[in-house]
Amino acid sequence: MMLKSGDEVPAFSHPTDGGGKLSLKDLKRKKAVLYFYPKDMTPGCTTEAEDFRDRAKEFAKSGAVIVGISKDSAARHDKFKEKYRLPFILLSDEGGDLCERFGVWQEKSLYGRKFMGIVRSTFLIDEKGIVRQVWPKVKVKGHADEVLAALKAL
């Protein structure tokens, strides 16, 4: 079941691009935009990352940290981040436990074939680690603007 507004974010600690590590306690006292996406270097995921990149300064001015999360390795995140000049953290959830705990690992269907995968979803988290807003099954076009507007309204 996907986390919803009012839920507490589960504790985590995962590798990031650049050989780093990110845990929930690193985000305390900050607002955070955690966006889950299926795969680095794919068209929709690249467009979404570029949209967040192009608005990164506005998110920072509003006091928020952006974190992109997928099951790609930290090494693949390094390549993705470098190629598209992404100024925010990319977290690696290779084992999928964070995807499971947020409820974004779900059955999907493509051309009649069913499979498990990450449902593109975004979570706006407050300074106390509480989910303030959720965007399930995100449509990429205009999404970063929607999230930014919600952040400014917090």
Asked if 45 is an active-site residue, the reply is yes
Share of the chain above pLDDT 90, in %: 97
pLDDT of residue 110: 87
Rounded to 5 degrees, φ, ψ at 131 are -70, 125
Q: Is residue 54 part of a domain?
A: yes
**With contact defined as beta carbons under 8 Å apart, do 65 and 89 qualify?**
yes
Q: Does any domain span residue 12?
A: no
End-to-end CA distance of the chain: 25
User: Which residue range(s) make up the domain with 51?
Assistant: 20-153
**pTM, to two decimals:** 0.96
- Report the CATH number that the domain containing residue 88 is assigned in CATH: 3.40.30.10
Of residues 27, 34, 45, 66, which has the active-site annotation? 45
Question: What CA–CA distance (Å, rounded) separates 17 from 15?
Answer: 7
What does the pLDDT read at residue 82? 97
